[in-house]
Amino acid sequence: MAEIDWKEKYRLLAERQGADELEQAEIEQLLCRTISRLTIATSGLDPNLDPNLAKIRGAIRDGVDLELKKTLDALSDALMRTDESKPSTANVVSPPDLLQRLLSRINLTGKPAAQLDKIIQQLQADPANIADAQLDELLALITSKNSSAADSLPRPGLFGRIFKAEEENHKAAESSSVSEPNQVLLRLLEKLNWPGHLTGEVTNLMARLGKDAAAEAWIPVLDDLGKLVTTTLGEVQTEMRATENFLSELTLRLQELDQHMAGSASDRANATQNGEALNAAVQGEMGEIQHSLSVATDLESLKIDIAHRLDTIQGHVDAHLKAEEMRRKSALIKEQALRQRLHLLENETTSLHSKMMDAKSKALEDPVTGLPNRIAYEERLATEVARWKRTHNPLLILVWDVDDFKQINDRFGHKAGDKALRVIGRILSARPRELDFVGRYGGEEFVMLLVDSTLEDAKKLADEIRESIANSGFHSSAKEEIPITISCGISEFRAGDTADDVFVRADEAMYRAKKEGKNRVIVG
């Protein structure tokens, strides 16, 4: 048992020693950083101190060693000589007073406070003979209390000089980000594909976020954007309710049709039953006639009996014909009403189909350029990729991006930017064949799908389009010529490629074209 206690005590002592060494290393690192910053802050104050300060900064990179201690001793001597050479003044605060002021700002409680008071008393009583262990203890008490709060306190004097650059950088970052919300909201409005009837209002919102806008212009613009979105959602909900009402009415009419069909089936069943009843009645009367013929004793009574039976048969036939005529007229009336309802339903269905097709067409169309938008591109891409996998015929993606488009918007306004996009869209769509695809991918970026074209033909076509756009002679509303160029990246589908693989290659090639001078075509 004693041996186990000894091992446990040894283990605890070893752990404590390791923790103490780790804490000592952290304090040493903190002390080194503090000394380094102080040497930087005090550089230039006295030419006699500068050489020693430079030596300390060089020695402190390797940690606290004998060489550093010698350098610190030399610095201490230089400080003493500097202090002796300076004239004394009545306004200078004595070191004990300065130390007392510094230590009074440390708010400790409990045992640490008692330890701090004891060290202060010893320091004031005999500062020359205070031990290094007591100084280390004092440093530990100070750093444990104030290291976490040091960053939140103001740093006047020497510490202000140390952290001056950091504060200036922070202020510069704040000043540069004043207009950042405006730019973020502007880029968001430019990237989104808005419905055609909202293009004018969104353009006005973007104009309010231009380069001359106030720093907080985004706040009212965001508020107006929220109202615009709310109004649009209300319109969509109204259309959805109208569609729901139409579908409900359609369901009712289909139920009426089902009831009519069921009624027709019931009428046919009744007609069948009536026909069977008539047949039974006629057969019964014919049987009676045959019986009368077999038992008749004279001709006159036979004639009377047969005439009576024939009248009865005639009555059954007349009743059946009358019921059938009534049934036919009722069916005819129901059929005419059903035809009218079906005709009305057909007209409403055609109208709804036309509206849905128009809505789908608008959803797939870019409102600014009139080209297919990104949704249409994704649909067409899926079709062409499936065909490429089936036939292995060439398929290429071309990614286009207008050069310096933001400068056009900033200098000439968003209306000029939209006009430039329309011109570019018209030139892009005029060159490819009908089986190819051209669309606006988003912002100032366009995309092409070339089917059954070689890489050489695609590059030749892209260069022709690029030159046509550069020579388009585009002018602003003020008749000022605006230079427009466009860069293009091309990539071909290869074995094992996904659509994303090819697009990424084309997009990277386009950005290489930008970096290499713009207004060029690069194959990726």
Distance of CA 390 to the CA centre of its chain: 34
SS3 162: helix
| CA 272/CA 277 separation, integer angstroms | 9
Cα 310 to chain centroid distance, Å, stands at 90
Among 444, 456, 467, 508, the one annotated catalytic: 444
CB–CB of 371/416 below 8 Å?
no
Measured CA angle at 157 (ends 155, 162), to 5 deg: 65
What type of residue is 39?
A: T
Q: Specify which residues 450 forms β-bridges with.
A: 396
d(CA 490, CA 524): 6
Helix then strand then coil, in percent of the chain rounded to 5, is: 75, 5, 20
- Burial of 33 from C-beta contacts in 10 A (0-12 / 13-18 / 19+): exposed
The verdict on whether 285 is a catalytic residue reads no
What is the token pair recorded at 369?
């350029």
Cβ-Cβ contacts under 8 Å for 345 (sequence gap 6 or more): 250, 253
Tell me how far apart the alpha carbons of residues 107 and 98 are, in angstroms, rounded to a whole number: 17
Beta strands at 395-402 and 486-492: parallel, antiparallel or unpaired? antiparallel
Catalytic residues: 444
